Amino acid sequence: MPNLAEFAITAFTTLFIAFGPLETAPIFGGLTPGLARRQRFAIAFKAVAVAGVVLLAFSLFGLALLDALHISLDAFRVAGGILLLLQSIDLIFAHPTGLSSITPTEESEAKTLPDIAVFPLAFPLIAGPASMTAVVLLMGQAQGDLLLRGAVLAALIACLLITYLALIFTDLLHKVLRTTGSNVVARLSGVILAALAVQFIFDGLKGSRLFG
């Protein structure tokens, strides 16, 4: 059974990088130019709240869904590890794709929508494929231990709060970090996420006993 403190740090780090608040904030700023501060706060709160509900559902019922689909946790670890590895490559090369960001077509469409809180902010930017995969993988790693599962939920709530703060202070973040600083943080995060992703793949392969 994993050590609680170490597992909590791993859960927070994995979810923080999967959420990518520093990458989401500039997109939020680009989609909300000219809006009053109060409106931006309301959109950010709604986006984080909707994403939180989606991710909470995945954390509580994701493993049951895998069982219903007859997908083993080890198979999901390998698939999820590959998905997180692809996101880490996006971060390292500072070249976001539809996996960790939104496509130019989606961004153009979002600018015409009256409410961007649900799409594209809540999904796929905050509650995207990587973050949904990560929360299920972490719950599987908790192995039913209530303290470890609580650590995952606490890390999830903390990352949602940080994401909300990043959205409402996006202008300040841009002044402090600028594009170069954001890319440096993204690349460092990508290296850490790549290591975590490979570990998930190793755990899945080991659990599957494909190699004896």
Does residue 212 form part of some domain?
no
Alpha helices in the chain (DSSP H): 4-19, 21-31, 37-68, 73-92, 104-110, 129-142, 146-168, 170-208
Mean pLDDT computed over 170-180: 85
Q: Which of 187, 126, 173 is nearest to 26 (CA)?
A: 173
Q: Which of 100 and 184 is assigned the larger pLDDT?
A: 184
Does residue 162 form part of some domain?
yes
Q: How far is Cα 26 from Cα 22, in angstroms, rounded to an integer?
A: 7
Q: How confident is the model at residue 141 (pLDDT cuts 50, 70, 90)?
A: very high
The total number of structural domains in the chain stands at 1
Does residue 146 form part of some domain?
yes
Please indicate, yes or no, whether the overall pTM of this predicted structure exceeds 0.75.
yes
Does residue 36 form part of some domain?
yes
Q: How confident is the model at residue 118 (pLDDT cuts 50, 70, 90)?
A: very high
Q: How far is Cα 34 from Cα 30, in angstroms, rounded to an integer?
A: 10
Joined together, the tokens standing for residue 212 give 């004896």
Does residue 200 form part of some domain?
yes
Q: What percent of the chain has pLDDT over 90?
A: 64
Statement: residue 99 has pLDDT above 60: no
Statement: residue 172 has pLDDT above 70: yes
Does residue 149 form part of some domain?
yes
Domain extent, residue 86, equals 4-206
Does residue 211 form part of some domain?
no
Are 68 and 58 in contact by the 8 Å Cβ rule? The answer is no
